[in-house]
Structures are given as structure tokens and as C-alpha cells.
């Protein structure tokens, strides 16, 4: 049922875990692990990840990122003699499974902390349970308001507001003034960017929003909306759609003779634009992390990831997964306990300063939400390239 | 690690899914293929959310008001769609549900847009919900018996015949729409309080398929079918997490196989078996003159 | 003016997708909700071949492969699911059961494709394929879109003629009217049903390849998105009527395009569903339907 992320767990290991957690709960000091440090020999945190289903791509990346962090933590004995372990349950991109697995994790008092590697509607089903039951909770892929419910929740993606400033700055540097917005109104994040964030940024970046068009995630043909944007005189388009719709929009705009700039969200990362071929050249988006980043820390993480996963390039999900586990480990070390209340205090303490080993560069927390500077990434027709900051 | 603590969410979902299935069942058993109950489930959930978050209403007032509104909606909808039958009725009521979904997505601050509403207080305990669901079940079970049961069965099987025996088909259907709305809104209100979140997905095509699957596999004739369907399809995804990578495939195959091999739903199969046994017994005990073939059909 | 052209291109996509679905429903009484995932998986198979052999493929080869895969899948679904179902279910509940069977089965190809792509979009455009853009009344139309228009209408006309004039067509219509009597008159129902389902699969495969070429990309769930639209198209036009599918496709595509042009787009779905709702109230059997959708 569960996939244990370290390879060495077998029946004996589980037995040891039960024994050790039982012993530490009794406060006995003949625990063979690190009794003096307050931590049992093994600490198991719980991960709820989308390993199958429509959003498995991100969930798997996060899972892989977690495994890299886990190896580092146990390899360098970050928690002393205590071994950190992660027990992953596949949510299958299903809301109800998310809620019920979250409840199971919450009921299991030996779980000090839960990480969710899943996107908005699915994470939003787990979040209220974590908050209500007082379980420290790290959301690695979703940061909307419905997930960020209170003191127990820590959010890893940098807020889209801050990310879109980069994109708007890019448009300004290109001298564009007339922005057309195409977005998927069934996606909360895209709706927020299209209806609130860009109207708010427009003045500061010298943009006029000439047209905003909503489509649904089941709209297959985007030529009429594209025509409307171009008819309104847009010289740049914000692409608030993901997946196939992003590729279709870019291609159809190209076929309509559009030569202006496209900005998008991280939803187009990871080869989404490949099917659009030459039309997608130059589409630019801001992201927390990219394998093509020139920053030293990003490069070293990318190398490790590629060598471990058959040359596959990491996307932002991998970086979030990595950060989630390190954050958990730091909090547990700080707390020197697996008690949830102590771990929460640990989280509060370790997030007061800058975290510097993240693949995303320096990460700071404000109101339990992490911020990194981010970078601009561009599609060159076959691969992603980094764009120098304007 | 107690069972209920770990599985409370599943128990709660089972209850609300059961109420959803029952609300569709009320219409289906009078031969009306209406998804109005589903629309009322979503509307009930949204109303409860809006009333408790924006206006500070309590559980009883918000859920009972949601039920009243849904009953009114059912009463309005029933005469409008009275001329529709079969899948045309299905499509029309699905259309109605999806329109409500689009409205929820475009409701701005009131409905929370695409993200929906979150932070709905927990107002109802699992035990209370269990009691409410049991009461509903008893009411529904009673209506399946005696005069009322025969009347409902007659309307489902043959409109003209029921008319000729003095049953007002339109009245029966009207009542079914209203009751279906009430049960749907009740389920939705409870679901909103349990999950503490409602999203436009609750008024989408996903719940349409889930509700239909529960009834087809459980059985679309009686409350027991709705219960079996609700239990089965609420717990199946969790059970399937053990299948790992192929859970999507297994889910699909299980659904398809159940629909093919369990005609009339689990309850239907059980009834068939019982009837067949009864017929055998009767044939065995009867004086062997001429076995009535009509009884078997 | 522009809107007419956009509506026409969109209508031909809906038409192409819905035609096979409507024919099997109207004649052999199979409402195949797995049609959408057959559509997707046909295109996906072509994509896998492109990736695997790492070579370009011309339009004709792609279309043939797609149609072949579609026929195979559709035939298999029929033999494995709809035939056994027909033998078991009574006529009254059959339509709903078929709906669920189709929905269940469609999860299988979607899960397979999701596993391979991780939910990422895939596209079929390659170097061996030249896609040109023409301008009609100032509206850019790609050669693929033109082909879709021509093929969709040719398909509609051919199916109509076949149903009207061929012996198979006659037998098929006979099944549509009265299953039992026609088999007593010597119609081999199961063979004819299989052929019809395979034919619908060919149409799904063809549509899958052409549509994904036209829009550049598809995800594993694209077929699921389209099936609801196709269902609406058929209900609007009337089950089993080829003219009905054509008209239904135009009504839906026209409404969507117009509403999108004159509003911000957020209410497009609501308004097209409202249109369907109203149409059904006025004419429950659909514009060209001869019988009620379901016999009560």
C-alpha cells in the first residue's frame, strides 16, 4: 500500500520502528538510537503524492526530489544517529483519497509531519484536516489560499504575484504595452493572475490590458479567442492555460500571424510547449527553479538529479520536494523531538532565517510562505534556456 | 490507531455519497432519469458554505434553508421538464447542474470563484449525520412498501396504466423532484460541513458519473442499492491505492465489469436469485399440471 | 464574417468526433462513452510510433495507423463489453449501464497514456508533414483544418448514403427500428454490429489524428472533454440522424463561438448548456430525431 522511499526498510525495520517509537514514548533511555537527543532511532514522515493520474508528472518529480534530500540527510547524519524515513502514499490525483489519507496520517500520532506533493484541488482537500488536527503540513506544489489555512501549514511555491512581476518586467523590457490575457477560468491560480494580479501590475509596468478572455479546460479550439485578442491589438499575450491548451494557443496564435511576446506560468515548464514546434520559440515564463538556471546551487542539484534519474531534467517540482524534506529535517532537528507541537515550533524557528541549500537559491519565509527570487525561462523551440534578468 | 479516527473521513463521505445516491434514486424509481438531486447537492453545499462563512449561520438554519431552497428549485424544475423522458431528461438536468457550476465559478467573492469556499466550520458530527441518514433511509424504505410502494412501482413501469388506475403521474413525479431536492441539499450541506471546502468541481461532470455509477452498480430500485453503491465506490479508491501504478486501470475495469455482470445492480441480482429460488420452490410444490411460464419472466 | 469561419472549423471537429458515436447509438443501440478515449488513444499510438521510430510520417500513414487502431479498439470494446452487456441487460436499463461501462473502460487508455506521458501533452506534427496556412476572408486556415472540414462532411455524406442505399445500411436501419424482427428476416445482427462499431472506431481514429494535428497537441484527457460536447451535439440533433449530427455540431459550435465573441468567455459553457436545455424543452427528441430518445 505504501511505498517506503528508503530501500532498506523491510519487516525488521518496521518492527524496529514500532519498538523504538513505543520506547521513546515511554521516555525509556535504553533506546539504542539517540535517546539523549530526544529523537528515536527512526523518524518517519508521511508524504501524500500524486504518482499516478493526470498530474503525476509533478508528483513524481517531487517524489524524486524528496529522495535526493533524504539520501543527503541520512548520508551526512544530519539528525545524528536518527534515521529519517518517508512513507509515501499515492493519491492518484483524487480529491477524496487525499482527504482520507490525510485523516489517516493525522490519526497516526507517530507521524510528526506530513508533506503533500499534489496540486491545488487535491491539496485543498487535505489541508483543512491537517490544520484541524494540528499536524505540521508542508504543501510543496500548491500555495492557494484554500491550502494555506493557518499556523500548521507551510507553503513552498513562491506566490504567483511575486513570480508574475518577473514576467511583467520582461514584457516591459521588450517594450510591449498592450497585453491580451487568455486564461482557464476553471483553474483558481490562473483566474487569480488574470483577474487580479495583472490588473494590479499593469500600471507599474506600463501595460494596458486590451482584452481578457476566459476559456474552460474543455475548450479544445482556441482560434476564436486568439483572434479576439489579436483583434484588440495585443502585442503580448499572457498565457493563463496549461497542458495541451498552452501548446494549442501558441500554435494557433502563430498561424494567425502573431509575432509578439508570450508570457506564461510555470505550468508550461517541462516540455509542454514541445508540440507547438517553431511557434513556441520565445515563450517566456517565470519559475522558482529550472534545470537551465546558471546559479551554482541549481546546477549542482540538476547534476545530481540527472545522474540519479537516467538523465531526466528536474523541473520546479523536484526542487520543492527536495526543499520540503530538508525543511522537515531541520524542524525535527531543531525540535529535538517528534512531538507535533515541538516540530511546529521547530518549523517556526528554522523558517525565521534564510535557507541556503535550496536548489532555488536563497529561500526566505514570510507568513509561512517561502519566497525565492526565481528566474525567467524561455522555450527556444526544442528546450528551455535561461533569460538574463531585465 | 482506532478505526474510526483513521477512517472518519471515509465514513463521512460514505454518508454524504449515500444521500446523493438516494436523492437521484427518488427520481429514478418513478422512472425519471433526473440529475436534479445532484444540482441540489452542489447548491446545498454552496448555500451552507455561504451562509456559515459570510453570514455566520449555524448548522441547522443553513442546512434546512438550503433544503427549502432546493425543494423550491425542484418544484420549479418539475413542471418545466415534465415533457422530457429518458436520456433527454438526463441531458437537460445535467445541463442545469453544469450551468449552476459555471455560476459558482463566476460568483466572485460570494462563491469564491474557481477556488471555491474554504474554512466552513465543522457544524455536524459524524454521529448526528449517521442518525439523519438513518432517518432518511427509514422514510425512504417505508415509501417502498405498501400502497405507496405499489404506486411508485406502477408509475415507473407504465405511465398510461397508472393514469388509468387513477394515479396522478405528474403529481408523483412532482413530489419526487421536491423530495429529491431536499435529500440532495441535505447531503450537500453535510458534505460542506465535513470537508470544510466546496469547489465548482462539486457541480461538475465528475459527481454526475460517480452518482450514476453508485446507482447502476448498487441497484437503482431501492435504498439498499444506493447504500451498497455508496459504500463500494467511496471505499474503492482508497483500497486501490494498494494497486499502485495501475489503480486508474483497475478502477475503470471494476466499474465496467460491475455494470456488465451485475445487471440491475447488486440488489437486482439478489432479488433475481431470491425470485428464481421462490419460483423453483413453488413449481416443486405446485400440482404438476401446467407450469406457468409467465411467472419466470 | 470571421465568426462563421471559426464556427465552421469548430463544427467540423465536433461533427467528425460525434458522427461515429451517433451512428452506433442510432442503429445498434450502443452508446459508447469510450469513444473519446479511443479517439485519444489512436492519436497517441501514432505519437508512440513517431517517438519510437524517430522518423517523420506523412499524413496518409498517420491517418491509416490512427484509423486502424481506432477500429481495433472499438471492435474490442464491442466484443468484450457491449455484446455481453446486450445479452444480459434489459432494454430499459441498458442505456444507463452502457454509459457506465463506457466511462469505466475509457479510464483504461487514459490511465495508460497518463502513465507514459505523465499527463503532458503530445503532438503529431513532424518534419515529413507540411502544414500550410491559407487565408479565407482574412482568416488564417491551416491545410489540416481544411482537410478536417472536407473529411468531416465527406464522412457525413458517405455514411448517409450508405445507410440509405446499401444493403448493409438497410439491414442496419432495420435493426435500429426493430432488433428482433430484423434478425428473423435474416439480418446477422452481431456481425453487422461489430462492423458498425469498427467503422465508428475508424472515424474516431481518423478524427483523433486530424484533430491533434490541427490543434497541435492533445492530452490523455482531451477525449473525455470532447465526449460531453459530442453527447450534447447528438441530443440536440437527434439520435441516429446524420443530418441531425451535422446540424447539432453547427448549433453548438456556432453558439460557443458567438457567445465567446460577444462576452468575456466566462459564461460560454453556461450559455451553451442553457441553449441545450431550452432546445430539449421545445423538442425533446432533438431537431431531426424521429423517435423519443428512449422508449418509455
Nearest-by-CA chain A residue for B210: A96
C-alpha cell, A254: 502563430
Query: Is residue A3 scored above 50 in pLDDT?
Result: no
- Rounded to an integer, what distance in angstroms lies between the CA atom of residue A225 and that of residue C258? 11
Return residues 100-129 of A near B (CB < 8 Å).
100-104, 107-108, 120-121, 124-125, 128-129
DSSP strand pairing (A369-371 vs A42-49)? unpaired
C-alpha cell, A299: 546546477
CA distance A160 to chain C (A): 22
Give chain C as a 3 state SS string.
CHHHHHHHHHHHHHHHHHHHHHHHHHHCCCCCCCHHHHHHHHHHHHHHHHHHHCCCCCHHHHHHHHHHHHHHHHHHHHHHHHHHHHHHCCHHHHHHHHHHHHHHHHHHHHHHHHHHHCCCCECCCCCCCCCCEEEECCEEEEHHHHHHHHHHHHHHHHHHHHHHHCHHHHHHHHHHHCHHHHHHCCCCHHHHHHHHHHHHHHHHHHHHHHHHHHHCCECCCHHHHHHHHHHHHHHHHCCCCHHHHHHHHHHHHHHHHHHHHHCCCCCHHHHHHHHHHHHHHHCCCCCCCCCCCCCC
Query: Are A107 and B201 inside 8 Å of each other by CB?
Result: no
Query: Is residue A221 scored above 60 in pLDDT?
Result: yes
Which of B203, B238, B245, B249 to mutate: most A Cβ within 10 Å? B238
Which tens digit of pLDDT belongs to each residue from A74-120? 999 999 999 999 999 999 888 889 999 999 999 999 999 999 999 98
Which of A51, A63, A195, A223 to mutate: most C Cβ within 10 Å? A223
Query: Are C221 and A252 inside 8 Å of each other by CB?
Result: no
The model's pTM is: 0.87
The residues, any chain, with a CB within 8 Å of residue A353's CB and separated by 6 or more, are: A364
What mean pLDDT value characterizes chain B? 87
Return residues 92-151 of C near B (CB < 8 Å).
93, 95-101, 103-108, 110-112, 114-115
Phi and psi of A239, rounded to 5°?
-100, 85
Query: Is residue C206 scored above 90 in pLDDT?
Result: yes
Strand order in the sheet with A114-117: A3-4, A83-90, A42-49, A114-117, A137-139, A153-155, A369-371, A364-366
Residue C216 has its nearest CB partner, among A216, A224, A276, at A276
Give the best-scoring range by mean pLDDT among A267-281, B46-60, B247-261: B46-60
- Rounded to an integer, what distance in angstroms lies between the CA atom of residue A336 and that of residue A332? 6
Let me know the angle formed at the C-alpha of A165 by A162 and A167, rounded to the nearest 5 degrees.
125
C-alpha cell, B178: 421536491
* Cα separation values, B127 from A248, B123, B224, Å: 50, 12, 20
Longest C-alpha distance within chain B, in Å?
75
Residue B115 has its nearest CB partner, among A95, A145, A149, at A145
Residue of C266, A215, A323, A129 lying closest to B107 (CA atoms): C266
Which is higher by pLDDT, A93 or C10? C10
Residues in A touching B122 (Cβ below 8 Å): 132
pLDDT at A33: 40
C-alpha cell, C239: 439520435
C-alpha cell, C27: 442503429
CA distance C201 to chain A (A): 21
* Interface confidence (ipTM) of the complex: 0.89
DSSP strand pairing (B117-118 vs A236-240)? unpaired
Residue of B142, C10, C140 lying closest to A221 (CA atoms): C10
Q: What percent of chain B has pLDDT over 70?
A: 93
Residue of C268, C265, B102 lying closest to A214 (CA atoms): C265
Contact criterion met (CB below 8 Å) for C139 and C2 = yes
Query: Are A225 and C265 inside 8 Å of each other by CB?
Result: yes
Dihedral sign, CA of C227, C232, C236, C239?
positive
Query: Are A56 and C6 inside 8 Å of each other by CB?
Result: no
Which tens digit of pLDDT belongs to each residue from B143-164? 888 888 888 888 887 777 888 8
Residues in A touching B239 (Cβ below 8 Å): none
Query: Is residue C245 scored above 90 in pLDDT?
Result: yes
CA distance C217 to chain A (A): 5
C-alpha cell, A262: 508570450
Query: Is residue B44 scored above 50 in pLDDT?
Result: yes
pLDDT at B297: 36
Contact criterion met (CB below 8 Å) for C74 and C194 = no
CA distance B84 to chain C (A): 6
Q: What percent of chain A has pLDDT over 70?
A: 90
pLDDT at B15: 96
CA distance B107 to chain A (A): 12
Nearest-by-CA chain A residue for C225: A218
Residues in C touching B259 (Cβ below 8 Å): 85, 97-98, 100-101, 104
C-alpha cell, B53: 462563512
pLDDT at C172: 80
Give the alpha-carbon dihedral of A225, A226, A230, A236, to 10 degrees. Answer: 120
Helix (H) or strand (E) holding B198: strand B197-198
Residue of C257, C250, C287, C23 lying closest to C155 (CA atoms): C23
What mean pLDDT value characterizes chain A? 88
Query: Are C266 and A276 inside 8 Å of each other by CB?
Result: no
Q: Which of A148-152, C32-36, C84-88 has the lowest mean pLDDT?
A: C84-88
Residue of A20, A317, A345 lying closest to A139 (CA atoms): A317
- Rounded to an integer, what distance in angstroms lies between the CA atom of residue B32 and that of residue C16? 32
Q: Which residue has the cell 424543452?
A: C281
- Rounded to an integer, what distance in angstroms lies between the CA atom of residue B89 and that of residue B83? 9
Residue of A264, A297, A258 lying closest to A278 (CA atoms): A258
Q: What is the mean pLDDT of residues A157-161?
A: 92
Q: What is the mean pLDDT of residues C112-135?
A: 85
CA distance A224 to chain C (A): 6
DSSP strand pairing (B117-118 vs B197-198)? antiparallel
Beta strands in chain A (DSSP E): 3-4, 42-49, 83-90, 114-117, 137-139, 153-155, 178-184, 208-215, 236-240, 261-264, 284-287, 364-366, 369-371, 375-379, 384-387
The residues, any chain, with a CB within 8 Å of residue A112's CB and separated by 6 or more, are: A43, A45, A136, A332, A338, A339, A340, A343
Let me know the angle formed at the C-alpha of A242 by A238 and A245, rounded to the nearest 5 degrees.
90
Residue C13's pLDDT band (cuts 50, 70, 90) = very high
Contact criterion met (CB below 8 Å) for A181 and A209 = yes
Residue of C214, C264, C218, C270 lying closest to C13 (CA atoms): C214
- Rounded to an integer, what distance in angstroms lies between the CA atom of residue C49 and that of residue C38? 17
DSSP strand pairing (A114-117 vs A137-139)? parallel
Contact criterion met (CB below 8 Å) for C257 and C7 = yes
Query: Are C100 and B251 inside 8 Å of each other by CB?
Result: no
Q: Which residue has the cell 437503482?
A: B220
CA distance C63 to chain B (A): 27
Q: How many CA atoms lie within 13 A of B47 on its CB side?
A: 25
Rounded to a whole number of angstroms, the distance between the first and last alpha carbons of chain B is: 51
Residue A144 has its nearest CB partner, among B13, B115, B196, at B115
Amino acid at each position: 500500500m505504501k511505498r517506503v522511499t528508503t530501500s532498506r526498510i523491510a519487516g525488521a525495520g518496521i518492527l524496529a520502528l514500532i519498538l523504538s517509537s513505543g520506547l521513546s514514548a515511554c521516555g525509556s533511555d535504553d533506546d539504542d538510537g539517540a535517546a539523549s537527543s530526544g529523537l528515536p532511532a527512526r523518524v518517519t514522515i508521511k508524504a501524500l503524492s500524486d504518482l499516478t493520474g493526470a498530474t503525476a508528472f509533478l508528483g513524481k518529480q517531487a517524489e524524486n526530489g524528496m529522495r535526493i534530500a533524504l539520501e543527503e540527510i541520512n548520508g551526512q547524519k544530519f539528525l545524528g544517529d536518527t534515521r529519517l524515513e518517508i512513507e509515501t502514499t499515492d493519491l492518484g490525483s483524487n480529491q477524496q483519497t487525499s482527504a482520507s489519507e490525510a485523516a489517516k496520517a493525522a490519526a497516526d500520532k507517530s507521524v510528526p509531519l506530513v508533506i503533500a506533493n499534489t496540486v491545488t484541488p487535491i491539496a485543498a482537500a487535505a489541508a483543512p484536516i491537517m490544520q484541524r488536527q494540528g499536524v505540521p503540513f508542508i504543501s510543496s506544489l500548491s500555495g492557494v489560499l484554500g491550502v494555506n489555512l493557518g499556523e500548521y501549514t507551510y507553503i513552498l511555491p513562491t506566490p504567483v504575484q511575486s513570480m508574475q512581476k518577473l514576467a511583467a518586467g520582461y514584457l516591459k523590457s521588450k517594450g510591449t504595452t498592450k497585453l491580451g490575457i487568455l486564461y482557464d477560468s476553471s483553474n483558481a491560480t490562473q483566474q487569480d493572475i488574470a483577474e487580479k494580479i495583472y490588473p494590479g501590475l499593469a500600471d507599474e509596468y506600463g501595460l494596458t490590458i486590451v482584452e481578457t478572455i476566459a476559456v474552460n479546460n474543455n475548450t479544445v479550439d482556441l482560434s476564436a479567442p486568439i483572434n479576439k485578442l489579436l483583434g484588440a491589438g495585443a502585442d503580448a499575450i499572457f498565457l493563463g492555460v496549461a497542458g495541451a491548451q498552452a501548446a494549442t494557443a501558441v500554435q494557433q496564435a502563430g498561424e494567425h500571424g502573431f509575432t509578439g511576446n508570450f508570457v506564461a506560468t510555470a505550468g508550461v515548464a517541462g516540455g509542454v510547449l514541445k508540440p507547438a514546434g517553431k511557434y513556441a520559440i520565445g515563450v517566456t515564463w517565470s519559475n522558482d527553479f529550472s534545470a537551465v538556471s546558471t546559479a551554482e546551487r541549481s546546477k549542482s542539484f540538476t547534476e545530481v538529479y540527472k545522474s540519479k534519474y537516467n538523465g531526466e531534467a528536474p523541473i520546479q517540482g523536484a526542487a520543492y520536494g527536495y526543499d520540503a524534506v530538508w525543511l522537515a529535517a531541520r524542524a525535527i532537528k531543531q525540535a529535538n523531538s517528534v512531538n507535533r507541537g515541538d516540530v511546529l515550533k521547530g518549523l517556526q524557528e528554522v523558517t525565521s532565517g534564510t535557507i541556503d541549500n535550496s536548489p532555488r537559491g536563497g529561500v526566505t519565509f514570510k507568513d509561512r510562505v517561502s519566497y525565492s527570487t526565481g528566474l525567467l525561462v524561455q522555450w527556444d523551440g526544442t528546450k528551455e534556456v535561461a533569460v538574463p534578468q531585465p | 490507531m482506532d478505526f474510526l479516527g483513521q477512517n472518519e473521513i471515509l465514513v463521512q463521505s460514505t454518508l454524504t455519497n449515500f444521500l446523493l445516491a438516494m436523492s437521484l434514486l427518488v427520481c429514478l424509481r418513478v422512472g425519471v432519469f433526473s440529475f436534479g438531486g445532484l444540482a441540489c447537492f452542489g447548491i446545498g453545499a454552496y448555500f451552507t458554505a455561504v451562509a456559515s462563512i459570510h453570514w455566520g449561520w449555524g448548522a441547522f438554519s443553513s442546512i434546512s434553508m438550503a433544503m427549502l431552497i432546493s425543494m423550491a428549485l425542484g418544484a420549479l424544475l418539475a413542471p418545466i421538464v415534465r415533457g422530457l423522458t429518458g436520456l433527454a431528461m438526463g441531458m437537460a438536468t445535467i445541463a442545469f447542474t453544469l450551468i449552476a457550476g459555471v455560476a459558482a465559478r463566476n460568483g466572485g467573492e460570494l462563491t469564491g470563484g474557481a477556488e471555491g469556499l474554504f474554512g466552513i466550520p465543522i457544524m455536524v458530527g459524524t454521529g448526528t449525520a449517521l442518525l439523519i441518514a438513518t432517518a432518511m433511509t427509514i422514510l425512504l424504505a417505508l415509501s417502498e412498501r405498501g400502497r405507496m410502494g405499489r404506486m411508485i412501482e406502477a408509475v415507473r413501469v407504465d405511465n398510461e396504466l397508472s393514469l388509468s388506475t387513477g394515479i396522478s403521474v405528474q403529481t408523483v413525479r412532482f413530489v419526487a423532484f421536491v423530495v429529491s431536492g431536499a435529500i440532495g441539499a441535505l447531503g450537500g450541506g453535510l458534505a460542506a460541513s465535513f470537508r470544510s471546502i466546496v469547489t465548482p468541481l462539486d457541480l461538475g461532470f465528475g459527481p454526475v458519473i460517480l452518482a450514476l455509477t453508485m446507482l447502476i452498480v448498487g441497484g437503482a430500485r431501492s435504498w439498499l442499492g444506493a447504500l451498497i453503491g455508496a459504500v463500494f465506490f467511496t471505499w474503492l479508491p482508497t483500497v486501490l491505492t494498494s494497486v499502485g501504478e495501475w489503480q486508474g486501470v483497475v478502477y475503470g475495469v471494476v466499474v465496467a465489469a460491475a455494470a456488465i455482470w451485475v445487471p440491475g445492480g447488486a440488489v437486482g441480482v439478489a432479488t433475481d436469485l431470491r425470485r428464481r429460488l421462490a419460483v423453483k420452490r413453488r413449481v416443486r410444490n405446485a400440482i404438476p399440471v401446467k407450469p406457468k411460464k409467465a411467472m419466470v419472466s | 464574417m470571421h465568426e462563421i469561419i471559426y464556427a465552421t472549423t469548430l463544427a467540423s471537429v465536433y461533427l467528425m468526433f460525434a458522427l461515429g458515436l451517433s451512428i452506433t447509438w442510432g442503429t445498434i443501440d450502443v452508446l459508447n462513452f469510450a469513444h473519446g478515449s479511443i479517439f485519444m488513444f489512436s492519436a497517441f499510438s501514432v505519437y508512440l510510433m513517431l517517438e519510437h521510430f524517430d522518423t517523420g510520417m506523412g499524413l496518409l500513414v498517420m491517418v491509416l495507423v490512427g484509423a486502424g487502431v481506432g477500429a481495433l479498439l472499438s471492435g474490442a470494446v464491442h466484443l468484450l463489453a457491449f455484446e455481453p452487456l446486450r445479452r444480459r441487460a434489459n432494454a430499459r436499463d441498458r442505456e444507463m449501464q452502457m454509459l457506465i461501462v463506457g466511462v469505466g473502460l475509457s479510464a483504461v487508455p487514459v490511465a495508460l497514456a497518463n502513465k507514459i506521458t505523465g499527463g503532458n501533452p503530445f503532438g503529431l506534427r513532424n518534419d515529413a508533414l507540411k502544414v500550410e496556412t491559407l487565408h479565407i476572408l482574412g482568416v488564417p486556415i491551416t491545410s489540416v483544418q481544411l482537410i478536417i472540414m472536407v473529411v468531416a462532411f465527406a464522412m457525413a455524406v458517405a455514411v448517409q448514403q450508405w445507410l440509405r442505399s446499401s444493403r448493409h445500411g438497410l439491414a442496419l436501419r432495420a435493426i435500429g427500428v426493430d432488433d428482433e424482427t430484423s434478425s428473423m428476416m435474416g439480418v446477422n445482427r452481431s456481425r453487422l454490429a461489430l462492423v458498425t462499431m469498427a467503422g465508428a472506431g475508424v472515424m474516431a481514429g481518423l478524427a483523433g489524428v486530424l484533430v491533434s494535428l490541427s490543434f497541435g497537441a492533445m492530452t490523455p484527457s482531451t477525449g473525455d472533454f470532447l465526449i460531453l460536447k459530442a453527447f450534447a451535439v447528438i441530443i440536440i440533433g437527434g439520435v441516429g440522424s446524420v443530418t441531425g449530427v451535422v446540424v447539432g455540431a453547427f448549433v453548438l459550435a456556432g453558439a460557443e463561438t458567438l457567445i465567446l465573441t460577444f462576452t468575456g468567455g466566462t459564461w460560454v459553457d453556461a450559455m451553451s448548456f442553457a441553449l441545450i436545455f431550452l432546445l430539449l424543452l421545445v423538442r425533446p427528441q432533438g431537431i431531426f430525431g424521429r423517435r423519443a430518445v428512449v422508449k418509455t
